[in-house]
Amino acid sequence: MAASALPMSAWLDGRGPLPSRVAAVPGMDQQLRIQDGVAQLLKRVRRAQGALALTTLEAQAVYDGAKLIDLKPDEDNRGKELITFFMVAANGVVARFLEGHGSASLRRVLRKPDRWDRIVALARGCGEALPATADARALSDFLVKRQQAAPAQFPDLSLAVVKLLGAGQYVLKRPGEPSAGHFGLAVDDYTHATAPNRRFPDVITQRLIKAALSRSAAPYADEELRALAQHCTEQEGNAAKVERQVRKSAAALLLQSRIGEQFDAMVTGASDKGTWVRVSQPLAEGRLVKGFEGVDVGDAVRVQLLHTDVERGFIDFARVR
C-alpha cells in the first residue's frame, strides 16, 4: 500500500490514471473511493476535535544507480492520509475496547508541551495569539490558518512545533484511572495496535485484545506492562537515533564538496546540548557551532558550512546572520 501511495494519491486527486495494481482487482477502485471518502470525513472530524495539522518533511535518499545524488522530502499525500486516518481511528477504538473490558493497556501518550511559551512566541511572530496555557484546539486552529496563509513556509513551522511538542512515550494505563492522552491527536484514549509486523508495542496490544476476547487471564501483570512501556519508549528512541545517524551521514556525504557555501536555515533545536539547524537543499540538519547565542527553535538564520564528517554524520555550520 505504501509503495503505491503516490500514484494512488494522484488518481484520488484526479491528477493521474488508475494505478495498474488497483485496476487488476475488480471493484477495488470503488472500494478505495469509499475508503477515501471516509478518511476525509475522519480528517474533518479530527480537525474539529483539535488534532494538529502538521506537515513535516522527512529526507528520502535519491540514487543514480548506486550513487547517492540527493536528499528530497517525502511529502504527505492523499494516499497516505487514507492509511493514516483509518489507523488513528482503529487505535482509538482498541484503547477504548480494552478499557471497556477492564483490561490494563499500553497507551501511547504525548503530554502537554513543556515549551508552550515558545510555541506562543512563534504564533505571535506570525501575528496570531495563543492562550497562555497549552490548548490543542487553539494550536490546531492557528496551524490551519498558517497552512492556508503561507503554504511554502508551513513545513518549517510544522517542524518547529514538532520539536517543541517533544516525543511521545508508552505508559501503563490501568482501567478506571485517568489517561494522560495524546496532545497532538487531541484524544484521551490512544494506543498502538495496527502494526504488529514492525512494532513490538502493537504485539503487546494484540495479545491483550486476544485475552479480552477470550475472557482469559491477561498475558501481563501491571508491573510487567509498566516495565515494557519504559523499554519500548527507550528502544524507540534508540531506533530514532540510528535513523538520524544514517540520514546525517548521507547528508554529510552530499555536502562534503560544498565547504564554505552559505545556506538559508531554520533552527530546529536549542538546548544545553547544542543548537541545530536545517537547510532545505539538500534536506539536511547540522550543528550550529558558531553564532548560536540568542537563537531559538523556529528562528530563520543564514549559515555557512564549515565541516563535514561522513563516518560520524557530523555537519557543522557557523551563523552568518
Tens of each residue's pLDDT in the chain, 321 residues: 444 467 888 899 888 899 999 999 999 999 999 999 999 999 999 999 999 989 887 778 888 888 888 888 777 788 889 999 999 999 999 999 999 999 999 999 999 999 999 999 999 999 999 999 999 999 999 999 999 998 878 988 998 999 999 999 999 999 999 999 999 999 999 999 999 999 999 999 999 999 999 999 999 999 999 999 999 999 999 999 999 899 899 999 999 999 999 999 999 988 888 999 999 888 899 999 999 999 999 999 999 999 999 999 999 999 998
For the chain, domain boundaries:
1-110+167-243, 256-319
Rounded CA-CA distance 157/54 in Å is 9
pLDDT of residue 5: 66
pLDDT of residue 3: 42
If you compute the radius of gyration of the chain from its CA atoms, what whole number of angstroms results?
22
Rounded CA-CA distance 8/15 in Å is 10
pLDDT of residue 1: 40
| Phi, psi angle pair for 192, to nearest 5° | -115, 120
Rounded CA-CA distance 133/116 in Å is 7
Query: Helix (H, G, I), strand (E, B), or coil: what is residue 70?
Result: strand
Give domain 256-319's CATH number out of 3.20.20.140, 3.30.420.40, 3.40.50.970, 2.40.50.140: 2.40.50.140
CA distances from 77 to 16, 20, 34, 128, 208 (A): 13, 19, 17, 27, 33
pLDDT of residue 136: 94
Cell of 97: 475496547
Rounded CA-CA distance 183/228 in Å is 22
67-74 and 58-64 beta bridge pairing? antiparallel
CA distances from 53 to 36, 124, 137, 156, 191 (A): 18, 18, 11, 13, 20
